[in-house]
């Protein structure tokens, strides 16, 4: 636990700083409807750095930073202009063009200087996990400065105005994005920018409240994402982005409940859920009936969670074969791993293995890999045959289950049927109502 | 003569001497596993009489390029086609080969086999066999070139082994798992890798585990290649007080690594410098 905190608090601090400035810009970006502008600006900055690199400047030098900044300011000017053209063509289309052309131009330049590829990747990917106090010391003064400009000139910068103020908006935004993308990568910066801002805009209408909600949501989600990345052993940036996605889904699900008519909303939610379940079950029934040897996502998922479910439709022989193959496959995997480990150990410990011994180990490893593949084939075949055998009764039961779950208007359907079916229908009706 | 990587180019030149005009497709210091081929490559392959590839799923993109270029002699099984990995004892075989198989399924093993200089004997043997097929008139020259190369390599390997002897068993951490063949030959202990899967950034608990291992075993060298990200490596080095060593995994990976010999000279020198003062 202490180890986790020791490891995660510097990236958390960086995330808080990034959330702080990006939520503000995110609300602005949403209002201006220029959602992907950060990607375009980051790509332009990367292009500038690539040009500097081509001209022989080292990666971290002032000259490289200068080129990067120069390109970003140029793009800011272009964006300020497009605001005025954007009467007939949406500005977002032009932003897309800037992004694509800048990305392609960087690839063309890099092609002439291969050692720049890594440099370009670093500008655009970042890794929040390995960022720390050194970075915080650089970004905090920058963000405070930019924040101050926007705090002092809110009326000029909040709404689309003259060319000059548009330029100021985009160039300050470019400054922020250039530094944050190098730190956290494009995916994460986009999430910081847009998702908390959407949540803020969803639940409040005054800018200050939107900002407060966005900050709270962004900070909390970053903390959850970082923790999840540590506990579940996932790459940090990607884990945080997915957590932000989940947070937005959660906020979206909660949204109707905050907008009056809670009981009505609950009713709709239950109906949607029932239809959804019924559709998934009916789809699985069709898949099982007509392609029993193909993938069965629902069955596979249930069997992964509870392998004992297989005993419902495996015969004893099938169950035994499946179990044995599984054990053998695991044994072969372990044997291959042991050989790899043995070879690795003998590189430094004891007598070195000679080439003939290594060759033998190598051919044993190949055999184990092939044997394991064979066992997996047996497992898949046993399962496919068992499913083929039960496909009709199983898929018919699944269809029946889907019909029971779906919120079908039984009463209305029943009224249209001839009189002699009525008692049967009434019985089924009662059972659905009871549930 | 076309090779996929600079290493194979250097080795082909060692065998061919002045008789061959050899060029490589993947530029030096470029990750050959992620190479995107260019239209010119097809043109160059159309004029090629001999192609040499790494194999072991390392340069899978080469198959499609060969298909696009046509020409029966340089296709798999043709007289001018060399899979340099043929006969090499592969290490760390875990998966099944992804490539179009040709009978000897080698599985997806670790493909960086040219970093064991002893494997150069097999690689040059494969190249020599193909040269003898397509240019039988000059066989004697090729044979003499290869023997001279192997004699020089033999002396050098002994020298490198002596120089690296003090590092035997010393714990080293690398960014990418390029080094098992090198480690086996020179008896080095590469204990962990920052990158779990290519292109996926390390997870926090993986990094924490690496740092713990390094502290426990007193490791003070972290290796990266020049095209790999320095941030993650610097992060680990800073937390453990280790020094970062940039090695070349391919010829041209560092400016000093101009050919197959200087590749090892550079790496051996860099490792000794890093381990020396401590």
Model confidence at B157, in pLDDT bands (50, 70, 90)?
very high
Helix locations, A33-55, DSSP H: 37-54
CA angle A196, A198, A203 (to 5 degrees): 95
Model confidence at A429, in pLDDT bands (50, 70, 90)?
low
Q: How far is A346 from chain B (nearest CA, A)?
A: 8
Which pLDDT score, from 0 to 100, does residue B100 have? 42
Yes or no: say if B87 and B34 are a contact pair by the CB < 8 Å rule: no
B94 against B68, higher pLDDT: B68
* Closest-CA residue to B250 (of B75, B96, B59): B59
Which pLDDT score, from 0 to 100, does residue A282 have? 94
Chain A environment of B169 (Cβ under 8 Å): 348-349
Q: Tell the burial category of A364 from Cβ atoms under 10 Å away from its Cβ (0-12, 13-18, 19+).
A: middle
Q: Using CA atoms, how far apart are residues A94 and A99, in angstroms rounded to an integer?
A: 9
Which pLDDT score, from 0 to 100, does residue A225 have? 94
pLDDT of B195 strictly over 90:
no
Single pTM value for the model = 0.77
Model confidence at A383, in pLDDT bands (50, 70, 90)?
very high
CATH classification of A2-258, choosing from 3.90.1150.10, 3.30.70.890, 3.40.50.300, 1.10.3470.10?
A: 1.10.3470.10
Q: In what order do the strands lie in the sheet with B23-24?
A: B23-24, B2-3, B51-53, B81-83
pLDDT of A83 strictly over 70:
yes
Over residues A80-102, the mean pLDDT reads: 83
Residue of A233, A336, A343 with shortest CB distance to B203: A233
Q: How far is A33 from chain B (nearest CA, A)?
A: 32
Strand ranges (DSSP E) for chain B?
2-3, 23-24, 51-53, 81-83, 91-95, 108-110, 171-174, 189-193, 221-225, 243-247
Residue of A127, A348, A349 with shortest CB distance to B188: A348
- Whether A373 and B204 lie within 8 Å, measured CB to CB: no
Model confidence at A216, in pLDDT bands (50, 70, 90)?
very high
Which pLDDT score, from 0 to 100, does residue B266 have? 92
Residue of A114, A366, A373 with shortest CB distance to B30: A114
- Whether B202 and A235 lie within 8 Å, measured CB to CB: yes
How distant, in Å, are the alpha carbons of A87, A174, A246, A372, B257 from that of A168?
Answer: 21, 10, 34, 62, 48
- Whether A8 and B204 lie within 8 Å, measured CB to CB: yes
Helix, coil or strand: residue B221: strand
Domain ranges of chain A: 2-258, 273-406
Nearest residue of B to residue A357, measured between CA atoms: B89
Over the stretch A115-162, which tens digit does the pLDDT of each residue have? 566 667 766 767 788 887 888 888 899 999 999 988 887 666 666 567
Which pLDDT score, from 0 to 100, does residue A386 have? 93
Backbone torsions φ then ψ of B112, nearest 5 degrees: -90, 50
Over residues A358-364, the mean pLDDT reads: 85
Over residues A301-326, the mean pLDDT reads: 91
Strand B108-110 relative to strand B91-95, pairing = antiparallel
Q: Using CA atoms, how far apart are residues A293 and A145, in angstroms rounded to an integer?
A: 63
Over residues B252-266, the mean pLDDT reads: 89
pLDDT of A404 strictly over 80:
yes
Over residues B40-51, the mean pLDDT reads: 87
A277 against B226, higher pLDDT: A277
Model confidence at A380, in pLDDT bands (50, 70, 90)?
very high
Percent of chain A with pLDDT strictly greater than 70? 90
According to DSSP, the residues that pair with B172 across neighbouring strands are: B190, B221
Over residues B18-43, the mean pLDDT reads: 82
Domain ranges of chain B: 2-155, 163-275
Residue of A236, A336, A362 with shortest CB distance to B91: A362
Over residues B44-70, the mean pLDDT reads: 86
Q: Which residues of B fall below an 8 Å CB-CB distance to A?
A: 27-31, 38, 89-96, 105-107, 109, 118, 168-169, 180, 183-184, 187-189, 200-208, 226-232, 234-235
Which pLDDT score, from 0 to 100, does residue B167 have? 85
- Assigned CATH topology for domain B2-155: Rossmann fold (3.40.50)
Model confidence at A427, in pLDDT bands (50, 70, 90)?
low
Percent of chain A with pLDDT strictly greater than 90? 36
- Whether B169 and A355 lie within 8 Å, measured CB to CB: no
- Whether A366 and B107 lie within 8 Å, measured CB to CB: yes
Which pLDDT score, from 0 to 100, does residue A273 have? 92
Which pLDDT score, from 0 to 100, does residue B277 have? 57
Which pLDDT score, from 0 to 100, does residue B278 have? 47
pLDDT of B39 strictly over 80:
no
- Whether A122 and B180 lie within 8 Å, measured CB to CB: no
Q: Using CA atoms, how far apart are residues A403 and A413, in angstroms rounded to an integer?
A: 13
Which pLDDT score, from 0 to 100, does residue A59 have? 67
Chain B environment of A187 (Cβ under 8 Å): none
Over residues B126-147, the mean pLDDT reads: 91
Over residues A362-375, the mean pLDDT reads: 86
Q: Tell the burial category of A113 from Cβ atoms under 10 Å away from its Cβ (0-12, 13-18, 19+).
A: middle
A6 against A428, higher pLDDT: A6
Nearest residue of B to residue A225, measured between CA atoms: B204
Which pLDDT score, from 0 to 100, does residue A118 have? 66
Chain A environment of B31 (Cβ under 8 Å): 117
Residue of B38, B94, B228 with shortest CB distance to A118: B228
Tokens of A293: 């040897």
Tell me the average pLDDT of chain A: 85
CA angle A158, A164, A168 (to 5 degrees): 60
B204, B208, B235: best mutation site toward chain A, by most A Cβ within 10 Å?
B204
Q: Using CA atoms, how far apart are residues A426 and B43, in angstroms rounded to an integer?
A: 77
**For residue B76, is it left (φ>0), alpha (ψ between -120 and 50) or beta?**
beta
C-alpha dihedral over A426, A427, A429, A433, to 10 degrees?
130
Chain A environment of B184 (Cβ under 8 Å): 343, 347, 352-353, 358
A9, A12, A114, A376: best mutation site toward chain B, by most B Cβ within 10 Å?
A114
CA angle A241, A142, A139 (to 5 degrees): 45
Q: Using CA atoms, how far apart are residues B257 and B263, in angstroms rounded to an integer?
A: 4
Q: Tell the burial category of A367 from Cβ atoms under 10 Å away from its Cβ (0-12, 13-18, 19+).
A: middle
Residue of B38, B90, B168 with shortest CB distance to A348: B168
Chain A environment of B92 (Cβ under 8 Å): 340, 343, 365
Contact residues for B213 (Cβ-Cβ < 8 A; gap 6+): B171, B173, B191, B192, B219
Over residues B10-38, the mean pLDDT reads: 84
- Whether A117 and B31 lie within 8 Å, measured CB to CB: yes
pLDDT of A222 strictly over 70:
yes
- Enumerate long-range contacts of A32-36, CB under 8 Å, 24 or more apart: A32/A91, A32/A160, A33/A90, A33/A91, A33/A92, A34/A79, A34/A91, A34/A92, A34/A95, A35/A92, A35/A194, A36/A92, A36/A95, A36/A96, A36/A99
Nearest residue of B to residue A111, measured between CA atoms: B27
Tell me the average pLDDT of chain B: 84
A192 against A150, higher pLDDT: A192
pLDDT of A428 strictly over 60:
no
Chain B environment of A129 (Cβ under 8 Å): 201-202, 204, 207, 235
So what CATH class is B163-275?
alpha beta
HSE-up (13 A, CA, CB side) for residue B18: 0
pLDDT of B106 strictly over 80:
no
CB atoms within 10 A of CB A2: 6
Q: Using CA atoms, how far apart are residues B245 and B234, in angstroms rounded to an integer?
A: 10
């Amino acid at each position: 636990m202490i180890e986790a905190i020791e490891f995660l608090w510097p990236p958390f601090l960086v995330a808080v700083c990034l959330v702080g400035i990006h939520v503000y810009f995110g609300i602005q970006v949403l209002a201006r409807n220029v959602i992907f502008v950060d990607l375009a600006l980051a790509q332009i900055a990367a292009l500038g750095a690539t040009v500097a690199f081509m001209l022989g400047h080292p990666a971290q030098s002032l000259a490289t930073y200068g080129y990067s900044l120069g390109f970003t300011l140029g793009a800011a000017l272009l964006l300020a202009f497009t605001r005025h053209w954007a009467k007939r063509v949406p500005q977002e289309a032009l932003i897309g063009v800037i992004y694509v052309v800048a990305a392609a131009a960087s690839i063309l330049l890099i092609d002439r200087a291969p050692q720049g590829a890594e440099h370009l990747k670093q500008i655009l990917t970042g890794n929040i996990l390995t960022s720390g106090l050194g970075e915080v010391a650089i970004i905090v003064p920058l963000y405070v400065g930019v924040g101050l400009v926007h705090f002092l000139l809110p009326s000029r910068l909040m709404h689309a105005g003259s060319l000059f103020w548009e330029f100021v908006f985009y160039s300050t935004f470019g400054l922020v994005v250039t530094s944050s993308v190098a730190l956290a990568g494009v995916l994460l910066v986009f999430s910081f920018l847009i998702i908390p801002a959407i949540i803020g805009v969803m639940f409040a209408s005054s800018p200050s409240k939107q900002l407060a909600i966005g900050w709270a949501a962004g900070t909390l989600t970053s903390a959850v994402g970082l923790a999840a990345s540590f506990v579940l052993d996932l790459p940090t940036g990607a884990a945080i982005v997915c957590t932000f996605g989940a947070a937005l889904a959660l906020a979206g699900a909660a949204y109707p409940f905050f907008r009056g008519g809670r009981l009505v909303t609950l009713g709709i939610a239950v109906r949607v859920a029932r239809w959804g379940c019924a559709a998934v079950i009916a789809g699985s029934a069709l898949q099982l009936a007509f392609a029993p040897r193909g993938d069965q996502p629902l069955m596979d998922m249930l069997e992964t969670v509870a392998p004992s479910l297989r005993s419902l439709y495996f015969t004893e022989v099938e169950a035994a074969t499946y179990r044995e193959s599984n054990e053998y496959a695991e044994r072969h995997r372990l044997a291959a791993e042991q050989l790899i480990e043995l070879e690795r150990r003998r590189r430094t410990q004891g007598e070195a293995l000679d080439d003939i011994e290594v060759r033998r180990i190598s051919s044993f490893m190949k055999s184990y890999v092939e044997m394991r593949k064979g066992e997996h084939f047996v497992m898949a075949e046993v399962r496919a045959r068992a499913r083929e055998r039960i496909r009709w009764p199983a898929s018919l039961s699944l269809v029946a289950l889907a019909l029971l779950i779906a919120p079908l208007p039984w009463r209305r359907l029943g009224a249209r049927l001839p009189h002699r079916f009525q008692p049967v229908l009434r019985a089924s009706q009662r059972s659905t109502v009871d549930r | 003569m076309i090779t996929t990587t600079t290493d194979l180019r250097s080795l082909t030149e060692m065998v061919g001497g002045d008789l061959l005009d050899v060029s490589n497709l993947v530029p030096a210091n470029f990750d050959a596993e992620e190479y995107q081929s260019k239209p010119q490559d097809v043109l160059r392959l159309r004029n090629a009489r001999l192609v040499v590839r790494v194999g072991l799923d390392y340069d899978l993109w080469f198959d499609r390029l060969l298909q696009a270029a046509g020409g029966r002699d340089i296709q798999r099984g043709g007289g001018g086609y060399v899979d340099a990995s043929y006969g090499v004892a592969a290490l760390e075989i875990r998966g099944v080969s992804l490539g179009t198989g040709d009978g000897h399924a080698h599985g997806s093993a670790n493909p960086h086999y040219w970093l064991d200089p002893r494997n150069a004997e097999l690689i040059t043997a494969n190249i020599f066999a193909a040269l003898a097929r397509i240019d039988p008139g000059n066989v004697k020259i090729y044979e003499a070139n290869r023997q001279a190369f192997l004699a020089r390599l033999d002396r050098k390997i002994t020298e490198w082994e002596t120089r690296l002897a003090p590092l035997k068993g010393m714990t080293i951490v690398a960014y990418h798992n390029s080094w098992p063949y090198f480690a086996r030959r020179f008896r080095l202990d590469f204990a962990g890798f920052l990158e779990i899967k290519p292109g996926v950034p390390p997870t926090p608990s993986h990094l924490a585990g690496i740092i713990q291992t390094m502290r426990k075993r007193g490791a003070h060298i972290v290796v990266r290649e020049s095209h790999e990200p320095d941030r993650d490596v610097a992060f680990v080095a800073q937390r453990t007080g280790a020094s970062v060593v940039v090695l070349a995994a391919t010829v041209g990976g560092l400016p000093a690594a101009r050919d197959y010999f200087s590749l090892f000279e550079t790496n051996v020198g860099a490792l000794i410098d890093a381990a020396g003062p401590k």
